[in-house]
Amino acid sequence: DAGVIQSPRHEVTEMGQEVTLRCKPISGHNSLFWYRQTMMRGLELLIYFNNNVPIDDSGMPEDRFSAKMPNASFSTLKIQPSEPRDSAVYFCASERGREAPNEQFFGPGTRLTVL
Amino acid sequence: AQSVTQPDIRITVSEGASLELRCNYSYGATPYLFWYVQSPGQGLQLLLKYFSGDTQDQGIKGFEAEFKRSQSSFNLRKPSVHWSDAAEYFCAVVDQNYQLIWGAGTKLIIKP
């Protein structure tokens, strides 16, 4: 298995531009998580999906952030418009299911820089 | 509310020396605990987990962790560190919604 795949690995954009981050979870995993990691705030859960349905988006910073999971093998996190304070590493993780505590498998992350 | 505390932001250890990374949790019920490792520029990888039963759990790369309910601790140990162990280590506890509550992480620096 290729593991969780994220693209792009690096993104540099200018303030005000739209940014789309992509994630392909491990096949057969039913839950998907988007995290943001910064030096100041550490690892923050933004949103998670179970069976393609958003369950908890309380961690999404504001309306500029949106996430979708149109099918079991693909999810996007979009920032529109982007701001310099959005600069961070964004991780996607997948998990087998929510019936019991399970290991989350992380992707390599997307390093976003907003100028 | 559940929380995880990793008191040490950074630890420096000589190669070959023993290691202990501290983790304290706050959770009312039987906790499910994890240790993850993040190498530079990489995602997080599971080192080991504690679900129930034994006080010690063996993980990958020679790491082990001891769960002590009386101290609300889940410290990570390794008898002899290698330069390749230099990374950041995160402790996490599962809350009642099966969400991971993360510690702030401890950065491990290995001296040659």
- Number of A/B CB contacts below 8 angstroms equals 41
Please report which confidence band the pLDDT of residue A106 belongs to, taking 50, 70 and 90 as the band edges: very high
Q: Do A42 and B51 touch (CB under 8 A)?
A: no
B32 and B51 Cβ atoms separated by less than 8 Å: yes
Q: Work out the mean pLDDT of chain A and round it to a whole number.
A: 93
A47 touching chain B per CB within 8 A: no
DSSP per position, A45-73: EEEEEETTEEEE-TT--STTEEEEEEETT
CA distances (Å), A64 to each of A74, A90, B88, B112, in order?
Answer: 20, 15, 30, 46
Mean pLDDT of A35-53: 93
A100 has a chain B CB within 8 A of its CB:
yes
Q: Which residues of chain A does B94 touch, with a Cβ-Cβ cutoff of 8 Å?
A: 101
The pLDDT score that the predictor gives to residue B55 is: 56
- Mean pLDDT along residues A40-50: 92
Neighbouring C-beta atoms of residue B27, cutoff 10 Å: 18
How many angstroms separate the CA atoms of B99 and B76, rounded?
21
Residue of B69, B89, B94 whose CA lies nearest to B77? B89
Q: Is the peptide bond before A8 cis (omega within 30 degrees of 0)?
A: yes
The pLDDT assigned to B50 comes to 85
Nearest CA to A59 among A89, A83, A34, A80? A34
pLDDT score at A38: 93
